[in-house]
Structure 1
Amino acid sequence: MSASRVSSPWWDRGVLLGMAVVLAVLPFTTSGYVLYVVNLLMVFSVLALGMHLVIGETGQFALSHAAFFGIGIYTAGLINNQWQPPFFVSILAGAVLSAALGWVIGLLALRMRDIYLALATFAFGEAMQWVFLNWETVTNGSNGLQMKPASLGGYQLMNDLQAYPFVVAIAALMLWLTVALSRSRLGSSFRAVRESDVAAIAMGVNTRAVKVTAFVLSAAFAGVAGGMYTLFTSFIHPESLGFQTTILVLTMVVVGGLGSVRGAVAGAIVFGLASELLRQAPSYQEIIYGGILMLFMMFLPKGMASLFVARRKSQRASSVASANVTEKHA
């Protein structure tokens, strides 16, 4: 067997096909709660992909993801409550507003690096949660916001089953966009900035524009995730949009594997399920996620994706060695 066959993309395509089959069959074989969890995992996947763009691809350590997620939820929910347009309009509005604020944060972030950037974006996230809690005339404050069912052409999404195909379709679209971005010239610029600003500038990369673009795209993804959340949830409380959510998504991306699309999705699935299991113990979640995050950064800094890469390299080396032995005996 040749090395090229081991490194073939057919394996990845097979995994995607298998996932597609499972997702297609799921509505006919499972209960409403399982579909709710899968919908939630799709939302987490889009959130993780958004953070992957700004942290994993570009190396900008931003901690404001929950804020943009909340902006997406409140924007989509409020627009739907007021006018009930087709749900994709509400989701798009949330994504655009999140992206606009992401652009502002991105411009401010140009003056900051590392811990200062993390602290500044953390402060923005905390400020937005304060807005969600105290702007009672708009968000209903600490009472939370009750949201009407989303609709499309007069068809209302009344439960998890009805929302499921749309949530999965949007998640698939965002995954495709992430992969396309990663393989594009912009994706190469992201990675150049991540490795070295100086080297990126020497290569002709406009580092300022690239960093701002990463913030805009990351915020837009979080806004889309927020809009997706409104398709199967009728209530949102500001307490769920704090730093704990950002830490959860950060854990997904880091443990999954920084810089890996596959790792971001895998991390979203694993820790999305974990968050659901730990729902009854919210006070311990930050400690658990923080501990796992610390352990991975110490002992497996490249995350779960590195295990897959190591396995592929081992298989490739074995196949090459086997081919060489065969040639010698031929």
Structure 2
Amino acid sequence: MKIMLITDAWAPQVNGVVVTLQQVSQQLLQLGHDVKIIHPGLFRTMPCPGYAEIRLAIGAGRQVAAAIRQFKPDALHIATEGPLGYAAWRYATRHRLNFTTAYHTRFPEYLHARLRLPTALSYCWLRRFHGAATRTLVPSPGVRSDLLRQSFDASKLVLWTRGVNTQLFHPHSETQTCTPAHDGESAVFLYAGRLAIEKNIEAFLKLDLPGKKWVVGDGPLREKLEKRYPEVYFAGAKTHAELAHFYRMASVFVFPSQTDTFGLVLLEAMACGCPVAALPAVSTQYVLGNSGAGHIDDDLRTACIKALKIPRSIPADYAKQFSWSQTSQGFLDNLAPIESSPATPATA
């Protein structure tokens, strides 16, 4: 099958959307499918306002349309709602083509946190964008329920879970050279992810914990947080291989975000044997559930202390049930043939 993926999130960005699309595209290629990825690196770009490390394609509408016509895909998947995604959406709706979308990111909540933009306006746009798709893939039942409360079409929302690479993220390490020296006695509480307001990271950093706090990642808040919390070790952005070593060295992985739609880092940490402490959220409730691989509590400190007592074999074993092969098969099962739909196209 010829599959075209349109995404505004791609390397060198480091986030769950990029990892998911990279892993799924690799799996599809191994299965013999012909995959074409349209991403910002193929176009002239500008920095995203307030998030300079994210590049947005500029004036790519005609090029995206030409790419679709030239490739002639059997299925079209629009992964993101950015400039490239919108360009593909316009082309598909104008030509009455079937396509699928995915809901990866809570943009309404992010835009409200950053710019105070009313979430009602953002959800109005998202309903229109995803409403034109044959199906919209969502990462958890909780996210699906949230979208239903925002009047999304229930018949189009389908579950599409995530996986973890257990060849990379596993409990055993041959080297620990990428981690800072420590005495090996005190507990290490680790956060990994973007340093941005929507991640609620200060809920972790301000805690009084019996050990050290490490932070892996980069983002617009890094400089501010480093000054405000000088006792915290900020390691910066790391490769996936380096990140795996940090998970193995940590006593507890702390996940303060309440806006993530899934949280791939949860699976990565658990696959390395690191138990999780988290605040209640649809992502943590779905990923952790009643697994015993972590603790969820309204009091994040309580969750951290309880997670210290969890044997590392429990999260490591639990994470094995999440595979990228299952994720990729779920993606394939929900693709829609691109042939023209009899429905009236949306007005772009």
TM-score, normalisation: structure 2 = 0.27
More strand by share: 2
TM-score, normalisation: structure 1 = 0.28
Structure number with greater CO (CA < 8 Å, separation at least 6) is: 1
